[in-house]
Chain A
Amino acid sequence: MNEIIDELMKIKPFSLGFEEKKIHFIKCISESIKFHYENCPDYQNYCKKKNFDPDNITDISNIPFLPVDIFKKMTLLSVPKSKIIKIIKSSGTTTNMPSIIHLDRITANRQMLSLNSIMTDFIGKEKLNLIIIDNEKTLESNDQNLSSRGTAIRGMLIFAKKFTCILNENLKLDSRIISQLENTNNSTTYIFGFTWLIHKILSENKNNKTFNNLFSKISESTVLHIGGWKKLSDLSIDKQQFNKECSEFFNTSSEKIIDLYGMTEQLGIVYPDCQYGNKHVPIFSEILIRDIHSLEVQPFGKSGFIQVISPIPNSYPGVSLLTDDIGEILGIDDCPCGRKGTYFIFKKRSEMADPKGCGDTLDI
């Protein structure tokens, strides 16, 4: 199985048209699902209950999905525990309960290759000066455990010639580090951080002259941000407003503010915005949009839950996941940016639960 997926990892992420990609993708996802079916008894039972035969996949829409939060509730493994090298925990924004994802070496390698391949297509091969809007302690792991924030930052370090974390332990701007940065040549600079954290720093430092001075010297930096919009949606801040604030603060144009959509449960795959504001699906994954009530696959232009399908996970059966994010597929192969394959927009996180009635007891 590994060979077929290894071959897939070598293909440029947005180079194949939808139909050509489909041939490669179905082969890989079939192999991956068969692997999980044979090695994870719980997953096999799940597939059986869904009357799903892994030996005969012709259409990805028939692959059963797991809701993304299943990893908050249970541990599913397709490899022996002894093969696990890293355990990743998501932020747990919505329920205060993190997803816990177990990675083996195969999965971790695929994630790195995938991330490298996707990001290189967007930012080029040249190594970057990377300013990280976070504290360097976030990168530290505790035994095998690593937060998803730490993992995402570590993933980005492979693109860095040099990196600097500019927040102190209280997640405030560290003026000492900022002054040091002022004395360096910051020609091609990329800024990377979590969306909510960047917004927090922006809000706290609107009139911070030291920071303004630093970015006035750096022209056209690119801001890459990740981690979702949940916390910002709660503050009623939309993408347009965020991009405007961000471009003013970092002295750059709003086209250079790139939102990376991705999730802990399928790390390594990110969906960055192209210059036309569309998110592109790489060769390593595919997405479907499902109606929130009927769960039927939606046609282009209709919004619903985003389902992500990828053969990258090896240590856990997270190959077909239904997210609680709402998106809409805009088209295939014809985005003006030239990238092939499916492209879509992320619309929002699913809204809060229904209003509570007299049957709502906090606990029983």
Chain B
Amino acid sequence: MILLTFKNILSDGILHESSSDDLESLIVNLKSKKEWLHSQKIDDLLDYFDSLGNYWKNSSTDDFGNNLKHISEFLSRVNLTKELKISLRGNFSALDDFVQLFDDSEFLYHAQPRGISVHWIAGNVDVLGIFSVVQALLTKNLCLIKVPHDYPLLKKLILSFKDVSTKKISGKDLLNCITLVYIDRTDISNQEILSKNADIRIAWGGEEAVSTILSLKKNFFTEDIIYGPKYSYAILDSEFLKDNLKNATQRLALDISIFDQYACNSPHTIFVENNDADNPDLVKDFAKELSNSMETVNRLILPKSQISEKKSMDILSLRAEYDFKGEVFAPKNTDWTVIYSEEEGLADPCFSRVVFIRSIKNAEEIGKFHNRKIQSIGIGISDHKRRKKLIDSITLLGGDRCPSIGNMSKFHSPWDGIFGMDRMVRWISMTNQ
């Protein structure tokens, strides 16, 4: 059996069953689209993505998966306008022309694309790749996507670009600005070509994958944007739960279930502050209520994806372990698992909708578990002042996002501490005469 270590999947808007083109010539071809993309107006691109989002929102989840609403919201004109404004210093017209920024009259500024953005997409969260691809196209960068071995959803989403056109932009033309390739992890020579030709390297992935990407040779001026490997958790206080228990568990169940917990923003541990000796069962009751919500979300909103035999056994093994040393709330099958124990700290992630519920006496103590590997902290702290103070003190040690619970999986900038689109452009200045 001959194993293909390199495969051209999509170029020039055409899906290839097999193609003899080598990677270098695919890159030359992709570069030829640079002028076309640069000539598109940001307003027209925003129109296009807004239409694309609507198209996906109105499509069947059988075709495009369960996260469509989520992605469509990201693509809305309102959201992307906000994202661009924040990332590009308040004036995203800088993508089209030289403009004034803030009240500086001495210089005019223009955000030029860096060139080719290469996206390394992680296996289990292939759909997250859409976020970086859209940001790259909005900033007028060409996209070369190294897809994982299995990426059915990402392929469908990208291919559907051609099904949408607006007055000014044809989806087919925009699709020409994207090339998809598969390169086996053992094919170092093609990985090197990919890396050397990248003006921006964007990596979504686990620790091992990202380390491999970072070890590849790159151009001196290449910008690296690393998404992952990160760990996320949530923290709630009893005051917050007092009137909100059901709502809080429903929102957390969504945060846990989106992406089946494989994304860096998925919570694995939920801390519940309980310093009330009168209510010793608060945390366990919360776990029980969360289990009801996990079941509802699985049944009605986000059915669990198929898992491997190994993952199924990992879940069963963990359940048995905590049947001995804690309390396990789970259905007979492996769809979801809520584990309560009296242990301290962040639990090792199992993924696949396995969440650990732990008690903490004082929310402020959470800082001792913080490091730069922490990404999202879902916040359910009732008092605004206390919330801000807590977030300030813990993020000094690590942690990049502190959304309210239920919003942990909503992609927005900054992500992993980075305003992505800012890093995708080169700022040019000229004297304003």
> Hey, which bits of chain A sit against chain B, CB under 8 A?
42, 45-46, 49-50, 66-67, 69-70, 73-74, 292-296, 305, 322, 324, 326, 350-362, 364
Contact between chains at B231 and A355 (CB < 8 Å): no
| A184 CB, nearest partner CB in chain B, Å | 44
Contact between chains at A67 and B316 (CB < 8 Å): yes
Contact between chains at B313 and A357 (CB < 8 Å): no
Contact between chains at A364 and B204 (CB < 8 Å): no
Q: Which of A73, A357, A361 contacts B124 (CB 8 A)?
A: A357
| A77 CB, nearest partner CB in chain B, Å | 13
Contact between chains at A358 and B316 (CB < 8 Å): no
Q: Which of A49, A350, A355 contacts B313 (CB 8 A)?
A: A350
Q: Which of A45, A73, A293, A359 contacts B321 (CB 8 A)?
A: A73
Q: Can you identify 6 A-B contacts, CB atoms within 8 angstroms?
A: A66-B320, A322-B316, A326-B309, A358-B262, A359-B266, A362-B229
Contact between chains at B324 and A357 (CB < 8 Å): no
Contact between chains at A356 and B206 (CB < 8 Å): yes
> Hey, which bits of chain B sit against chain A, CB under 8 A?
122-125, 128, 148-150, 204-209, 227-232, 259, 261-266, 268, 306-314, 316-317, 320-321, 323-324, 328, 332-334, 346, 348-349, 351-352, 369, 371, 373-374
Residue numbers in A under 8 Å from B352 (CB-CB): 354
Q: Which of B122, B310, B334 contacts A352 (CB 8 A)?
A: B310
A284 to B317 CA separation, bound complex (whole angstroms): 25
Q: Which of B208, B227, B310 contacts A356 (CB 8 A)?
A: B208
Given contacts A45-B324, A355-B122, A358-B229, contact A305 B208 (CB under 8 A): no
Residue numbers in B under 8 Å from A359 (CB-CB): 125, 206, 228-232, 259, 261-266, 268, 349, 351
Residue numbers in B under 8 Å from A73 (CB-CB): 317, 321
Given contacts A46-B323, A359-B229, A364-B348, contact A354 B307 (CB under 8 A): yes
Contact between chains at B321 and A74 (CB < 8 Å): yes
Contact between chains at B261 and A350 (CB < 8 Å): no
Residue numbers in B under 8 Å from A362 (CB-CB): 207-208, 229
Can you add 6 more A-B contacts, CB < 8 Å, to A46-B323, A293-B306, A357-B123?
A: A49-B328, A69-B317, A293-B312, A352-B308, A352-B310, A353-B310
Residue numbers in B under 8 Å from A358 (CB-CB): 122, 125, 128, 204-206, 227-230, 262-264
Residue numbers in B under 8 Å from A357 (CB-CB): 122-125, 128, 204-206, 228, 259, 262-264
Query: What 3 A-B pairs are tightest by C-beta distance, nearest first?
Result: A358-B228, A355-B123, A360-B206
| A180 CB, nearest partner CB in chain B, Å | 43
Q: Which residue of B has the minimal Cβ distance to A324?
A: B313
Contact between chains at B263 and A350 (CB < 8 Å): no
Contact between chains at A292 and B204 (CB < 8 Å): no
Given contacts A295-B333, A361-B230, A364-B373, contact A350 B122 (CB under 8 A): no
| A164 CB, nearest partner CB in chain B, Å | 39
Given contacts A293-B333, A359-B266, contact A353 B308 (CB under 8 A): yes
| A126 CB, nearest partner CB in chain B, Å | 41
Contact between chains at B332 and A324 (CB < 8 Å): no
| B109 CB, nearest partner CB in chain A, Å | 32
Residue numbers in B under 8 Å from A42 (CB-CB): 324
A207 to B235 CA separation, bound complex (whole angstroms): 65
Among A73, A292, A351, A362, max chain B CB count under 10 A is at: A292
Contact between chains at A74 and B351 (CB < 8 Å): no
Contact between chains at B311 and A354 (CB < 8 Å): yes
Contact between chains at B205 and A356 (CB < 8 Å): yes
Contact between chains at B229 and A293 (CB < 8 Å): no
Residue numbers in A under 8 Å from B123 (CB-CB): 354-357
Residue numbers in A under 8 Å from B261 (CB-CB): 359
Residue numbers in A under 8 Å from B310 (CB-CB): 324, 350-354
Residue numbers in B under 8 Å from A46 (CB-CB): 320, 323-324
A292 to B333 CA separation, bound complex (whole angstroms): 9
A364 to B313 CA separation, bound complex (whole angstroms): 22
Q: Which residue of B has the minimal Cβ distance to A70?
A: B320
Contact between chains at B321 and A295 (CB < 8 Å): no
Q: Which residue of A has the minimal Cβ distance to B314?
A: A353
A228 to B39 CA separation, bound complex (whole angstroms): 62
A356 to B264 CA separation, bound complex (whole angstroms): 11
| B152 CB, nearest partner CB in chain A, Å | 13
A247 to B229 CA separation, bound complex (whole angstroms): 48
A355 to B311 CA separation, bound complex (whole angstroms): 10
| A312 CB, nearest partner CB in chain B, Å | 20
Q: Which of B204, B229, B321, B333 contacts A70 (CB 8 A)?
A: B321
Contact between chains at A67 and B308 (CB < 8 Å): no
Given contacts A294-B332, A295-B334, A350-B310, contact A361 B229 (CB under 8 A): yes
A305 to B312 CA separation, bound complex (whole angstroms): 10
Contact between chains at B231 and A364 (CB < 8 Å): yes
Contact between chains at A350 and B309 (CB < 8 Å): yes
Residue numbers in A under 8 Å from B259 (CB-CB): 357, 359
Q: Which residue of A has the minimal Cβ distance to B352?
A: A354
Residue numbers in A under 8 Å from B314 (CB-CB): 353
Residue numbers in A under 8 Å from B268 (CB-CB): 359
| B413 CB, nearest partner CB in chain A, Å | 16
Q: Which residue of B has the minimal Cβ distance to A294?
A: B333
Q: Which of B128, B308, B348 contacts A354 (CB 8 A)?
A: B308
Contact between chains at A293 and B348 (CB < 8 Å): no
Contact between chains at A351 and B316 (CB < 8 Å): no
Residue numbers in B under 8 Å from A326 (CB-CB): 309
Contact between chains at A356 and B307 (CB < 8 Å): no
Q: Which residue of B has the minimal Cβ distance to A69?
A: B317
Residue numbers in B under 8 Å from A292 (CB-CB): 309, 312
Residue numbers in A under 8 Å from B348 (CB-CB): 364
Residue numbers in A under 8 Å from B306 (CB-CB): 293
Residue numbers in B under 8 Å from A67 (CB-CB): 313, 316-317, 320
Among A42, A50, A74, A361, max chain B CB count under 10 A is at: A361
Q: Which residue of A has the minimal Cβ distance to B209?
A: A356
| B96 CB, nearest partner CB in chain A, Å | 32
Residue numbers in A under 8 Å from B208 (CB-CB): 356, 360, 362
| A251 CB, nearest partner CB in chain B, Å | 30
Among A296, A351, A355, max chain B CB count under 10 A is at: A355
Q: Which residue of A has the minimal Cβ distance to B269?
A: A364
A67 to B352 CA separation, bound complex (whole angstroms): 18
Contact between chains at B231 and A361 (CB < 8 Å): yes
| B420 CB, nearest partner CB in chain A, Å | 14
Q: Which residue of B has the minimal Cβ distance to A355?
A: B123
| A80 CB, nearest partner CB in chain B, Å | 20
Residue numbers in A under 8 Å from B346 (CB-CB): 364
Q: Which residue of A has the minimal Cβ distance to B311?
A: A354
Contact between chains at A305 and B349 (CB < 8 Å): no
| B216 CB, nearest partner CB in chain A, Å | 18
A359 to B261 CA separation, bound complex (whole angstroms): 8
Contact between chains at B311 and A353 (CB < 8 Å): yes
Residue numbers in B under 8 Å from A355 (CB-CB): 122-124, 148-150
Residue numbers in B under 8 Å from A69 (CB-CB): 313, 317
A196 to B231 CA separation, bound complex (whole angstroms): 38
A360 to B371 CA separation, bound complex (whole angstroms): 15
| B400 CB, nearest partner CB in chain A, Å | 12
Residue numbers in A under 8 Å from B328 (CB-CB): 49
Residue numbers in A under 8 Å from B321 (CB-CB): 70, 73-74
Residue numbers in A under 8 Å from B312 (CB-CB): 292-293, 305, 350
